[in-house]
Each structure stands twice: as structure tokens, then as C-alpha cells.
Amino acid sequence: MKNIINIMSKEFARFFKDKNMVMMTILSAVMIYVIYSFMGTMIDNVFGPDEDHVPQIYAVNPAPVIEMMANEAEISIVRIDETQIENVRARVENGDVDLLMIFPPNFDADVLVFDPQTSVGPAPNVELLFNSTEPNSHRSYFIFSSFLDAFEATMANRFDINREQSGDLATAEEVAASMIASMMPMLLMIFLYSSCMSLVLESISGEKERGTLATLLVSPLKRSELAIGKILSLAILSLFSGVLTAVATILALPNMMGAGAGDMMDVNIYSATEYALLFLVILTTLLLMTALLSILSAFAQSVKQAGTFASPLMVVVMVIGVTGMFGAAPPDNPLIYLIPLYGSVQSMSGLFALNYSTTNVLIASISSLVYAGIGGVALSIMFNSEKIMFSK
């Protein structure tokens, strides 16, 4: 253990004594915050509605003119009565139904007799219930609110739409979680891998290229201690860099999502449990990435060659990270959390979306730790190979 700690101390000293490396790490996080804060003016919806989706629209006492407009748009409306409202409302919340419209009884007659100048009481009110976290639901709301706005314009403001509430059945926490979950897993995987790559390649292939690694290999130090010390220290240093960039991204996320997102998206929705589990996933993922990059770096004869070896793995990490944009996998299938890196992404997606299984998160974390341990053993074997470590 003493030798492992000595190796880790050496790596920490190499990093923190290099002012340029420390400043670049901090500056990268600052630049990410600045750049992402200005992306709101350029970014559009990451997820759009499915063009082939058949809208599921339900209505209570629908006005004939709205049914006519819907027919012209080739959209079917399912009529229901008041006893079915709660059931359909729950289906809207779950994403099974796109829109529920509730018209008051005798809507047409009330609209005709209502005069905003002389009538007593509020205008007839139409409720449009939708789920803004579902793109198809949001689009359906936009379509029918536009229909009603156009109809209202011809009626001299004789009725209201969602007078007392917005109609969005998704909570503010769900909206914020959905936005964050769609972006952060992919960004985190890229940040973590980039942090690992910049540190690991220099530590192993860089020292190998300069000849300093050969000095360590011929010392009384056990090769397994050298491998474990380097993997642990590099993972911790990568965690330092990765956490900085992750925090900068989370802070910039409301601005990045576009104008006005900062007002409707509260990022303070996660408890200490989610943060603790996320930290566990990040740490174990970094250990796995460090082990993989260390193996690739040990094969290389120079930092440049190591970068070439690491590029395909970067593509793999990005592709796996993109899968997080499609939401977390069903929590009832824990086996997929055993897949290296993919299980980490699915855990992040579930944690950010507040829809996760602690058991699955632990499965992903423990499996990453096991894979990292296997990588450490493989690196020790490589350090014992004269052909690999001293080849020209």
C-alpha cells in the first residue's frame, strides 16, 4: 500500500505542480460555461415530435367548429364524458394520450350569448391538458390552442382557454429533469473521457516515450502496485477535471436550453441521494475509462501514437453517450447495466430524470469497478512484458 500511495503522490505532484495544466483544466470549465450560456440563441429542440405519430386527442363536449378544424387537419377526436376525465388525465400524465380538451356543457350556446362588455361572470373556459415533457403532446397542445385562438378571434373574446391553470400536467421538477436528462449523460461521458485521455496518455505513454517509466519498471516496485497506483491517481485527477466541467455545464444548462428556460427550469431538484449515486457512477466510470486508456497507452510508443489508439474508443464513448438522449432503459431489466460504459450512461439518465432503480445504479457501478480491476490486472501483465514495455 505504501508503494501505491507513493505512485499516487508522484502523479498528484506532477499534475498540481504544472501550473499550465491546472489552469487549463479550470479554464476549460469556465469556457464551457461561457459557450453553453450563449448556445440558447442558436439551439432548437433536441427532440422534435414524431412526424408519423397519430395524435391521441380526447375531448369532453367538443365544439363542432373544433371538430371541423380537426377533421380538416386529419386529426381524430375521441369523445368522452365527465366520468372518464380522471382516467384520461392520468393517461396524459403517463404519455399515453397527447391532449385532453374539456369544454363546458352548452359551450356553443354560452359563447353566442356571452358579451364581454355586458355579461356578468367569466367567459366560458376551455381546458387543454397536455404533458410538455412529451413532444407529441406539446405539439398537439400547440395545434389545438391555435385552433381555439383562431376561433376566439372570430367571436370577439367570448370564451377563455385555461383561464385558471396552464394545462400542463407535468410538474416543474419533471420538466427540469427531462431537459437535464436529455443532455447531461452524453456531455458527462465526453467530459470524463476527455479528462482521462489528457492525463492518462501523458502519464503512461509520455513517461514511456521519455524513458522514465522504464526506471520505475526496473525498481523493486511491484508491477501490480505501479498499475494500481497509476489507475487510482489518474482516476482521481480525472474526477477533479470532470467535476469542474460537469458543474459548469449544469450551471449553464438553463441558458443553453434557450431564452426563458432559466425561469421555468429549476436545477435544484436533486436530493443528496441522487448526487451521491451520481458521484459513485462517475467515479467508477472514470476508473474503467482510466483502465482502458492505460492499456491502450501502454501499447503505444509515444503520446501521439497513444492518441491515435484512443480515438476509436472516443467514438465508442460518444455513441454510447448519445443513447442517453433517448431516455433511461426500463428499470426491470438489470442485465443491461452490466454492459461496460452503457450501464453508466443508463444510470446517469435515470438519475437525472429522477426515474431510477438504486439496485441498477449499484449494479452498473460495481460492474464498472470489476471491469476496472480486470483492466488493472491486464495492465500489470503488460508492465511485466519486456516485449511491450521496451519495444522500439
Q: What is the pLDDT of residue 259?
A: 42
Contact 111, 66 (CB under 8 A): no
CA distance 19 to 23: 6
Q: What is the pLDDT of residue 68?
A: 87
**Cβ neighbours of residue 307 closer than 8 Å, sequence gap 6 or more:** 197, 201
Q: For the chain, where are the E strands, in sequence order?
A: 57-60, 77-80, 99-102, 125-129, 160-161
Q: What is the pLDDT of residue 80?
A: 94
Q: Per residue of the chain (392 residues), give pLDDT as tens.
A: 777 787 778 777 877 777 776 777 777 677 766 766 665 444 444 444 566 788 899 999 998 888 888 888 889 999 999 999 999 999 999 889 999 999 988 888 888 777 766 666 677 888 999 998 788 888 899 889 888 887 777 665 555 556 556 555 656 566 666 767 777 788 888 888 887 887 888 777 887 777 777 677 767 777 778 778 877 887 788 777 767 766 776 676 656 554 444 444 455 677 888 888 988 898 889 889 988 998 888 888 888 888 888 889 999 998 998 888 776 666 778 889 999 999 999 998 888 888 888 999 999 999 999 998 898 888 888 877 777 766 65
* CATH 3.90.930, domain 57-170, yes or no: no
Contact 349, 185 (CB under 8 A): yes
Q: What is the CA radius of gyration of the chain?
A: 28
Helices (H) and strands (E) in the chain, counts: 16, 5
Strand order in the sheet with 57-60: 77-80, 57-60, 99-102, 125-129, 160-161
**Is this structure's pTM higher than 0.75?**
no
Q: What is the pLDDT of residue 47?
A: 45
The DSSP code sequence of 24-44 is: HHHHHHHHHHHHHHTGGGT--
DSSP class of residue 272 equals H
CA distance 40 to 16: 35
Domain with CATH 3.40.1710 in the chain: 57-170
CA distances from 323 to 49, 251, 292, 314, 318 (A): 18, 23, 21, 15, 9
CA distance 144 to 151: 10
